[in-house]
Amino acid sequence: MADIIQLLPDHVANQIAAGEVVQRPASVVKELLENAIDAEASTIKLIIKDAGKTLIQVIDNGKGMSNTDARLSFERHATSKIKCADDLFQLHTKGFRGEALASIAAIAHVELKTKQEEDEVGCALVIEGSDVISQEVVVTPKGTSVSVKNLFYNIPARRNFLKSNTVELRHVIDEFQRVALAHPNITFAFYNNGNETFNLPVSNYRQRIVNIFGNKTNEKLVPVEEDTEVLKISGFVGKPEFAKKSRGEQYFFVNNRFIKSAYLNHAISSAFDGLLKSGTHPSYFLNLTVNPQTIDINIHPTKTEIKFDDEHTLYALLRAAVKHSLGQFNIAPVLDFDRDASLDTPYNISQSATVSAPTIEVDRSFNPFQDETSSRPRSTTYKKEPAASWEGLYVGLESKGTQTQDDFSEVHFESEESELVIFKDHNALEQVHTTYQISNKYIVSAIKSGMLVIDQHRAHQRILYEDFLQNITVKDAVSQQLLFPLQLHFSPQEVAVIEQLKEDLEHTGFVFSNLVDETVEITGVPVGVPDSEVSIILEQLISDIENEVPDSNFSAADLLAKSMAKSLAIKTGQSLEKEEQEHLVNKLFACKEPNVSPSNRMTFITMSVDELDKKFI
């Protein structure tokens, strides 16, 4: 039998490795930025075109590379960071595997320009699909410039799996923010399609957070500081009242490396226990410094997951530190009663002043059955006019004779007679009570074949979704004007998302008067939307836009309708009147697709009489 196992060609092996390292343009951004930091750069510039699909360029003023190093840097497993296996547990740098540049060069067109400070000229290297096209001497400033063009040009299937530019750009910005937050001592600049998106000068950690997420973030931050032998914690957590429905602003950095850890995230959530509204998540920007020997960062290709030597101790320390900070800055639930300032004791009252007890005078001779006209002593200081005696009520009745009787016989009562009936006609009972609400969650209605059970939240989502989608399509939504304009504050990136969706939002009933930097001013909202819900709707919308995975045929109007329906739908636990229940049922079955919610979940189930009969067997 012939041998069937063979070695893979280098270009195929590189493409397979690239699948682990490079998943999307954001992966390239992360690797190149980390290389620039390891090169001890003080200024790093990121240039993006078409969300990284056309161009990703990182320019730094680091120490650069020699001609030999520039060539070797694109070989697999070539690195200057480690020399033996023990070095994996003494890592103080970002990259260490030696796979990043080789993987990127296997699936893109790469141009590298680099020069060391002591050299007069630098080196220019051009690689396409792992093949070195040219290596020349070039005049270039100190540092390194890496340009990655036409990502996945030789793997069309992988390129087709990329999402829309909006989604891919969101991932690129996320990676940029993670690296910039971890290194406030480095100047960062970010240019997207020729426009400056970020310009972050050297600053302290708090100012770096404010520069990235907007000026309004400053008032939301609570500092966290803790220093122990095992763990050093520094950074900030957000105040509970500014918690968001999304998990966007949650950052853990271990030894200046961004990580994801559901276990440590639970420690933060438990520290906020009792302070957050249901369905909201706290913001945090925390730096954890531990001994490199106590962690293993070589367990995931993207190095965003870390294995800790003693997670339980870190959990307890982190939770205690956050709770201490929240308590130290008086972030605690309070009972806020309306207080009457007039009841406060004045401070200028004399200590020697005597307070006299009030005197009470009682008229012991008062008799309610005594004729008011009779004279009796009064001890009160005011006089009261004597009321007519009870006999005066009947004066004049005798003179009218039988006419009075006739008048009283024609008196009609306004109140109708109430009749207590225990058993009513069955048909009449069905007409009065057609629906019932169970646990403020389900609406039950009788049908000919048995019983109908409707999930009120999902059903209302379907109704609102089709209404909003029709309004956006037909562009005839009705808007209610606000007496006072509503000013909302978002980060520059969130305002950019709203600006992209402005036209569709206006078709649903929103009226925007101003969109500048970090402020959104709204003068009109869709009919039926309360002012307090506007901020929640826009936050949910931004989160959905950033986290959804739309394809090339994706409709922004569809996602907008889904997001608004999800925010405004009747929530589970809300009690509904009979008329509201019946209206919800009627509107649901007037929809084009009443069976499922916008997220393709069942809105109702039916139980036949036979199924009910089986329950009683």
Is residue 103 within 8 Å of 22, Cβ to Cβ?
yes
Three-state secondary structure call for residue 152: coil
pLDDT at 202: 92
pLDDT at 188 > cutoff 90: yes
Three-state secondary structure call for residue 324: helix
**For 105-158, what is each residue's pLDDT tens digit?**
888 899 999 999 888 889 999 998 888 888 899 999 999 999 999 888 888 888
pLDDT at 239 > cutoff 60: yes
CA atoms within 13 A on the CB side of 567: 25
Is residue 263 within 8 Å of 247, Cβ to Cβ?
no
Sign of CA dihedral 76, 64, 110, 549: positive
Q: Which residue has the higher pLDDT, 237 or 566?
A: 237
Tell me phi and psi for residue 528, to 5 degrees. Answer: 90, -5
Which amino acid is located at 427 in the chain? N
Q: What is the DSSP letter of 425?
A: -
For strand 250-254 and strand 284-289, is the pairing parallel, antiparallel, or unpaired? Answer: parallel
Per-residue pLDDT, averaged over 188-215, amounts to 90
**For 214-225, what is each residue's pLDDT tens digit?**
888 888 888 999
Q: Considering all CA atoms of the chain, what is the largest pairwise distance in Å, rounded to the nearest integer?
A: 135
Task: Give dist(CA 169, CA 564) in Å, integer.
Answer: 23
Pair of tokens at residue 485: 């304009």
Per-residue pLDDT, averaged over 547-573, amounts to 69
Question: Comparing 38-42, 56-60, 381-385, 463-467, which segment has the lowest mean pLDDT?
Answer: 381-385
Task: Give dist(CA 97, CA 616) in Å, integer.
Answer: 66
3-state helix, strand, coil split of the chain in percent (to 5) is 35, 20, 40
CA distances (Å), 324 to each of 204, 266, 320, in order? 23, 16, 6
Per-residue pLDDT, averaged over 48-54, amounts to 90
Share of the chain above pLDDT 90, in %: 13
pTM: 0.66
Question: Comparing 1-5, 175-179, 516-520, which segment has the lowest mean pLDDT?
Answer: 1-5
pLDDT at 58 > cutoff 90: yes
Tell me phi and psi for residue 442, to 5 degrees. Answer: -115, 145
Task: Give dist(CA 564, CA 585) in Å, integer.
Answer: 20
- Please give the domain boundaries of the chain with CATH numbers for all domains: 10-200 (3.30.565.10), 207-328 (3.30.230.10), 437-606 (3.30.1370.100)
pLDDT at 189: 93
Q: Which residue has the higher pLDDT, 91 or 232?
A: 232
pLDDT at 436 > cutoff 60: yes
Q: Which distant-in-sequence residues (6+ apart) come within 8 Å of 110 by Cβ?
A: 74, 101, 104, 125, 126, 127, 128, 146, 147, 148, 149
Pair of tokens at residue 364: 């012991």
pLDDT at 428 > cutoff 50: no
Q: Which residue has the higher pLDDT, 475 or 615?
A: 615
pLDDT at 577: 87
Q: Which distant-in-sequence residues (6+ apart) come within 8 Å of 301 by Cβ?
A: 20, 21
**For 281-336, what is each residue's pLDDT tens digit?**
888 999 988 887 777 766 566 667 777 777 888 888 999 999 888 888 765 555 55
pLDDT at 503: 81
